[in-house]
Chain A
Amino acid sequence: MERHGRRLASAMNLRRFFLIAVPYGWLLALFLVPFFIVFKISLSDLALAIPPYTPTMKDGIGQMLSAFDFENFVFLTTDDLYWKAYLSSLQIALISTVLALLVGYPMAYGMARAPEEWRPTLMMLVILPFWTSFLIRVYAWVGILSNEGFLNQFLLWTGVINEPLTIMNTTTAVYIGIVYTYLPFMILPIYAALDRLDESLIEAAEDLGCSRSKAFWLVTVPLSRNGIIAGCFLVFIPALGEFVIPSLLGGSGTLMIGKVLFEEFFNNRDWPVASAVAVILLLILIVPIILFQRNQQRQAESET
């Protein structure tokens, strides 16, 4: 009887081990291993070879370890380009997040207040753009925003402007592109928070002397706070490392670290410096990611 119990316990332990092993294995194979490869390259030196850096494993582990240095990281501090690109990326990501919140909150609010039977349709409309390739959607904006594009054509036709507006290849175009692309990530968590909001709380606030707008600021906004925070991080984190949007819509004046990274890798073929840029970017991103995780966890706890 006791032996049977013990065997059962060990089977349970095995089961638990496999259950935990799957997500950890996933993280190990797809995050930690690539990260260490990139980190290793960032410690190497540029070389005219395939792969274009030295030392490699072929030189033997001991030889390789002794040849590692932080030269590339030091180099990043000497050239203005890099820290300016980081700062500019932070600025663009931050402003885009605020813009996405200003556009996304009213949309989420409207969805949550819409009649019950409309909501699935509205939700569908928010998600629908994901069914088309991201690249094609960004290219479509080139067609809209360029000097001969639909927007200028329309404004010229209506007589609002006489000269075409220069939007394409400016930072404005990058903002439009980022807000457009990441808007669903802002809308969905806020919608989820507002959808759960009990209508009687608003009525209670009004009953206790709040005007409608006061009730919104004192009850609706605080109770959708977790959705707002989640949405902001979901926009800010990918926007910070964004490469496709600034390289397609932004001009030479738009400095973003994702673009610098791409140029180092593919134009300069300087893998070690590019890897160093990537490692620093990751370190910058870790802070908001941890904050985001903590917010999610707190939300999960408050719901139990």
Chain B
Amino acid sequence: MSQKIFAPWDDPDEKPLIRFENVTKKFGDFTAIDDLTLNIYEKEFFALLGPSGCGKTTMMRMLAGFENPTSGKMELSGKNIAGIPPNKRAVNMMFQSYALFPHLSVWENIAFGLKRGDMGKLDIAARVEEMLKLTRLSKFAGRKPHQISGGQRQRVALARSLAKAPKLLLLDEPLGALDKKLRQDTQFELMDIQEGTGTTFVIVTHDQEEAMTVASRVAVMDEGRIIQVATPDGIYEAPNSVYVADFIGDVNIIEGTAKPAGEGTYRLDWTENEAPFLATSEAPFSDGQNAHLAIRPEKIAITAEKPDDANNAVQGSVLDIAYLGNLSTYYVQLAGGRIIKAQTANTRRLSRRSITWEDKVWVSWSATAGVLLAQ
């Protein structure tokens, strides 16, 4: 039972569906997209992730045809699409506000795009039925958008944008208006539909958890630039910068100077009074170079006694405990005042927890647990 791993981005022969080449978009003096180059492949579920104002929505609107790049090349299946109006592109978009037509029923909303083509009446009806079934909306076909719930509206918007079987579907914060529980269910539904239809999805979101869950690859953006493009685990385990490490998930960042200590191993001098931390890194650092050690809280162990086998161990006292139900995050204050976050799974009941406030504890981690970053 060997499954071929889906990774067209690693295959140099694969032709990208979308190609951005040195694309820049300016609104007056403001640069929304800054010299951006990016490939997106067929059948990908690609997430654009970033804080508001980072340019992710502008990128999506350029793909839809509502904005044109100021300079650079934008290709869809090898054809330059700059200047082609939205109604002439095999690209559909699911709007953040859903933008359902309030004067039309669910059925008519889904049929709207199909009626604009040269499809026969019977074919349109069949396609709409198929979409209704796919999104489990058959019962609501006759209702108006204001007569259905938010989750159902979201599915109508999805069905409408998928009905024309576009080469590329753009989703602008598609789950932003749903509550958390419904959002999680819908994420898996989206993935199923994406896999089932084989459509390339590009999703814009500011919710990192959502991006990590649904996407095959994630692009982290900031100020009109792409900082890193990688698979979700790549982004999380091997961020290429402090910005990405800090943006995705929780992280401890320890700044210091690196000193080579053997093959791919470095010592990080981070304070005068404590021993340097040992960390491995694939990227080379020169002697005395400024470096940041990024380490996730769940990779740090917290114990009452000093562990014998850990590469790095340092003592502190428990300042605060954040109890999250399944997890607890301990805020451990070191002698110099620095706070280290350590996370443990609550596999035992709370009453049997051995560590509490003000306790003297040891936090420890291995040399391979963190990532050493230059910037």
- Nearest CB of A to B27, in Å: 15
Q: Contact size class for B?
A: 20 to 34
Shortest CB distance A195–B (Å)? 15
Which of A198, A200, A207, A219 is in CB contact (< 8 Å) with B86? A207
Chain A interface main SS type: helix
Instruction: Check if B99 sits within 8 Å of A198, measured CB to CB.
Output: yes
Is the CB–CB distance between B101 and A207 below 8 Å?
no
Q: Does B85 contact A (CB under 8 A)?
A: yes
Contact assessment for B116 and A210 in the assembled complex, using a CB-CB cutoff below 8 Å:
yes
Candidates B92, B96, B102, B117; contact of A207 at CB < 8 Å: B92
Interface residues of B in 78-93 (CB under 8 A from A): 85-87, 91-93
- What is the minimal beta-carbon distance from A202 to any residue of chain B, in angstroms? 9
Cβ proximity bits B152-165 to A, threshold 8 Å, 1 near / 0 not: 00000000110010
Q: Mark B62-99, 1 if CB is under 8 A from A, else 0.
A: 00111000000000000000000111000111011101
Contact partner, B87, options A200, A201, A206, Cβ 8 Å: A206
Residues of A within 8 Å of B92, CB to CB, are 207-208
Residue of B nearest to A222 (CB): B103
Q: What separation, in Å, do the CA atoms of A211 and B97 have in the docked complex? A: 21
Residues of chain A within 8 A of B86, CB atoms compared: 203, 206-207
Interface presence of A302 (CB below 8 A)? yes
Contacts of B91 in A (CB 8 A): 207
* Cα A205 to Cα B93 with chains together (Å): 10
Whether the pair A210, B103 counts as a contact (CB closer than 8 A) is: no
B146 beta carbon closer than 8 Å to chain A: yes
Given contacts A198-B99, A200-B97, A223-B102, contact A206 B85 (CB under 8 A): yes
Q: Beyond A206-B86, A209-B113, is A201–B164 a contact (Cβ under 8 Å)?
A: no
Of the residues B66, B96, B103, B160, contact of A208 by C-beta under 8 Å: B160
- Interface residues in B87-134 by Cβ distance below 8 A to A read 87, 91-93, 95-97, 99-103, 112-113, 116-117
Q: How far is the CB of A34 from chain B (nearest CB, A)?
A: 41
In angstroms, how far is the closest chain B Cβ from the Cβ of A300?
A: 14
A200 close to B146 (CB less than 8 A): no
Chain A: minimal CB distance from B105 (Å): 13
Q: CA separation between A201 and B85, bound complex, in Å? A: 16
Give the CA-CA distance A214 to B112 in the complex, in Å.
Answer: 12
Cα–Cα, bound, A201→B92 (Å):
14
B97 touching A208 by the CB < 8 A rule? no
Bitwise interface map of B from 137 to 172 toward A, beta carbon under 8 Å scored 1, else 0: 000000000100000000000001100100000000
In the complex, A214→B102 CA distance in Å? 17
Say whether, besides A198-B97, A223-B102, A223-B103, A208 and B112 are in contact (CB < 8 Å).
yes
CA distance A214 to B113 in the complex (A): 12
Our pick among A203, A205, A222 for the contact of B66 (Cβ within 8 Å) is A203
From A201, A203, A209, A218, name the one whose CB has the most chain B CB atoms within 10 angstroms: A209
Query: How many positions in chain A have a CB within 8 Å of any CB in the partner chain?
Result: 19
B66 and A209 contact, CB distance less than 8 A: no
Does the CB pair B164–A208 fall under 8 Å? yes
- Name which of B64, B66, B99 has the most chain A CB atoms within 10 A of its CB: B99
CB-CB contacts below 8 Å: B193-216 with A: none
Q: Are B103 and A209 in contact (CB under 8 A)?
A: no
Q: In the complex, A201 Cα to B160 Cα: how many Å?
A: 13
Chain B residues, CB < 8 A from A201: 99, 101
Asked if A280 is at the interface of the complex by the 8 Å CB criterion, the answer is: no
**Are A211 and B99 closer than 8 Å at their CB atoms?**
no
Asked if A204 is at the interface of the complex by the 8 Å CB criterion, the answer is yes
- Residue of B whose beta carbon sits closest to that of A219: B101
How far in angstroms is the closest Cβ of chain B from A295? 15
Docked complex Cα distance between A203 and B91 (Å): 13
User: Nearest-CB distance from B86 to chain A (Å)?
Assistant: 5
A100 to chain B, nearest CB (A): 24
In the complex, the answer to whether B97 meets A207 with C-beta atoms within 8 Å is: no
- What's the minimum C-beta distance from B83 to chain A, rounded to whole angstroms? 15
In the assembled complex, which residues on chain B have CB atoms less than 8 Å from the CB atom of A219?
Answer: 101
Establish whether residues A209 and B87, one from each chain, have CB atoms under 8 Å apart when the complex forms.
yes
* Chain B residue nearest to A223 in the complex (CB): B103
CB neighbours (8 Å) of A209 from chain B are 87, 113, 116-117, 164
Asked whether B95 lies within 8 Å of A200 as measured between CB atoms, the reply is yes
Q: Give complex CA distance A203, B60 in Å.
A: 13
Which A residues lie within 8 Å of B100 (CB)? 204
Residue of A nearest to B92 (CB): A207
Interface residues of A in 52-72 (CB under 8 A from B): none
* Chain B proximity mask over A215-228: 1 for CB below 8 Å, otherwise 0: 00011001101000
Contact of B93 among A207, A211, A218 (CB under 8 A): A207
Q: Is the CB of A302 within 8 A of B146?
A: yes
In the assembled complex, how far is the CB of residue B108 from the closest CB belonging to chain A, in whole angstroms?
11
Q: Are B95 and A210 in contact (CB under 8 A)?
A: no
Q: State the CA gap A222–B108 with chains docked (Å).
A: 14
**Which of B64, B91, B113, B146 is most buried by chain A, counting CB atoms within 10 A of its CB?**
B113
- Give residues 132-153 of A contacting B (CB, 8 Å): none
A219 CA to B102 CA, complexed, in Å: 9
| B161 neighbours in A (Cβ, 8 Å) | 207-208
CB distance from A224 to the nearest CB of B (A): 10
CA distance A285 to B66 in the complex (A): 48
A-B contact pairs, 17 of them (CB 8 A): A198-B97, A198-B99, A204-B93, A204-B95, A205-B101, A206-B85, A206-B86, A207-B65, A207-B86, A208-B116, A208-B161, A208-B164, A209-B87, A209-B113, A209-B116, A222-B103, A302-B146
In the complex, besides A200-B99, A208-B160, 16 extra interface pairs with C-beta distance below 8 angstroms are: A203-B99, A204-B93, A205-B101, A206-B85, A207-B87, A207-B91, A207-B161, A208-B161, A209-B116, A209-B117, A209-B164, A211-B87, A214-B116, A218-B112, A223-B101, A223-B103
Query: Residues of B with Cβ closer than 8 Å to A?
Result: 64-66, 85-87, 91-93, 95-97, 99-103, 112-113, 116-117, 146, 160-161, 164
Interface residues of chain A, those whose CB is within 8 Å of chain B, are 198, 200-201, 203-211, 214, 218-219, 222-223, 225, 302
